[in-house]
Structure formats: C-alpha cells, structure tokens
Amino acid sequence: MSNATVSAEEVGKFSQLVSRWWDPHGPMRPLHQMNPARIGWIDKLARGATGSPKRVLDIGCGAGLAAEAMARRGHDVLGIDAGNDMVEAARAHAEGKGLTLTYRNCVAEDLVAEGRRFQVVTALEVIEHVPDPAAFVHVIAQLLEPGGLLVLSTVNRTTRAWLMAKIGAEYIFRLLPIGTHDWKTFITPAELGAMMRAAGVRVTQTTGLLPEPLTGSWHTGRDVGVNYMIAGVR
C-alpha cells in the first residue's frame, strides 16, 4: 500500500461502513443521491462524439456505487479499492447482473507497474482522503491512454463547504458519520487543476454538484463552491 496515495486509516474508516454501503438511507445516502447526476455527466463526457462505451477504471470504488452505475450504462469497468472487504461487497452486489464489470483489491500503482492503460479513469470523492493529492494525480494520470479522459470529484475548500459538507452533513443533519471529512484536506478547483496539468492532463471542464433540498436529488451546475467535478484529457 502506497504511503503517498493511500491512507490505511482512511481505508479502515470506510471499511467500517461497508455493510451499509448500498443502503440508500444509510451513511452513504449523499453518494446515492448525487450518483445519477455525477454518472450522467461522466457518461456523456466518456462517450464523446462517437457515443460509444469505453474501458473505464474507477479508483477507490468502495462497494461499487459508481462503478456499477457506469457498467449499467454499457461501459467495460474495472473498479479497484485498497479495502478487500469493500471489493468483496462490490462483487457480491454485482453478481448475476450480467454487467461488464470486474473488481480488484489493489492500488493504482499496481496497475501502473503492470503497464495497464484505460480510456477513462475516475476517482470520485477519493482525493480528499489521500495523504499526497499531487502524487495521487501523478500516479493515476499514468493509467490513461493518450487522449484518455480523467474525471475527479471532491469538495472545495471554502467556508460554505465547511458549513455544508462538514458541520451540516456530519453534525447537524447526520447525513455522514462524524469524522468523514477534514476541511483542511479539501482542494480548490484551481489547486486540483494545477495538479492535473503538472501530471500532463489538460483540464477541459469543471462543474458543480448541487443538491435539490425539496426532492433529495442533485444536479450539475456552475456553482463549484462545495461539491464539484473536474475533467481533463491526457
């Protein structure tokens, strides 16, 4: 396990939630609510002008929420995670569904060492939990084919994000377990864009992920003050 790109403490924290990962009313409720919006945005970018499905690597897949959603849209998906119990839960949930979807308990460096390359690489709600974000981006950029698409999602480091994603979500509304996030590890779009460019990835699009309080659903939009996604091409 890489000391720069994977935190054993963070893996352990999320492994404790694995039994309720697929419960839409459980501790992963915010991810369930935002998943249709974020997967819709990623799917459109991934298909591009040709409209064809792609070979996708989902890094830090957890129990498979995003990976399975991408596979349901026709993509050939490999989900990887450093937590073996999460990978086993992901496999169990996908079993018998006829999806082009595989899971593996490993880290990104393992795939780099094997010379693996993918048309699309995603790391969703992951980078704020790694010890060295710049090193993480550098590693995962190596897994892109030339012209490949990289999509990252995370939380902006703003006062509003602290109030909503930390204080509100964890302490007031109890949407997330206390301790899920550390505001100091949040990353601004400018900082993340600079990391991507340093890793040889040209930033192409950024979008906010915004909740709709009355319906519980989410949509994409221009406001990147709290949750956002950023995409780039190598």
Feature table: binding site for S-adenosyl-L-methionine: 38, 60, 81, 124
Question: Collapsing DSSP states into helix, strand and coil, what is residue 150?
Answer: strand
Rounded to 5 degrees, what are φ and ψ at 199?
A: -90, 5
Instruction: Report which of 155, 226, 159 is spatially closest to residue 187, judged by C-alpha positions.
Output: 155
Q: Which two tokens stand for residue 148?
A: 């490949």
The Cα angle at residue 19 between residues 208 and 120, in degrees rounded to 5: 40
Which residue positions form the known binding site? 38, 60, 81, 124
Instruction: Report which of 234, 38, 30 is spatially closest to residue 152, judged by C-alpha positions.
Output: 38
The Cα angle at residue 124 between residues 217 and 69, in degrees rounded to 5: 60
